[in-house]
Amino acid sequence: MRRVRVVNRTRDALLAEQAELADNPWTRFVGLMGRRELPAGTGLVLKPGGGIHMWFMRIPLDVVHVDKRDRVTHVLRGIKPWRFGPLFVGNKLAFELPVGAADGTQVGDEIEIEPLEVTDSNIK
């Protein structure tokens, strides 16, 4: 899966140094299911990002939803496993992040994803 950086341009804050990009039906469905942890600085970018599910999840998440203008429409904090997140029709992206990673992010903030160049230091 490709990796990207997620940056809150409004707040000049890095939300994820290395997020995985889930941009096809299978990778979006599987998402982070079954993982025991989501280390700080990581996350998952769902494209498109209308809604999320927390089925078969082991960890809570912060989720940031972004529209077609790259603006935050909703910030969900600490969503617990085995729940459905709300559906936001027409959103461009959703970012699944470790709990606390979305602190400071607010509705209306501009978010950007940047390609992450592959180097020996960021291959996991």
Residue 44: CATH number of its domain? 2.60.120.1140
Residue 88 inside a domain? The answer is yes
pLDDT at 120 over 60: no
**Domains contained in the chain, number:** 1
Mean pLDDT of 66-80: 97
pLDDT at 123 over 80: no
Assign 84 a pLDDT band (cuts: 50, 70, 90).
confident
Residue 123 inside a domain? The answer is no
pLDDT at 80 over 90: yes
HEC string for the chain: CCEEEEEECCCCEEEEEEEEEECCHHHHHHCCCCCCCCCCCEEEEECCCCCCECCCCCCCEEEEEECCCCEEEEEEEEECCCCECCCCCCCCEEEEEECCCCCCCCCCCEEEEEECCCCHHHCC
Q: Whole-model pTM?
A: 0.91
pLDDT at 97 over 70: yes
pLDDT at 87 over 60: yes
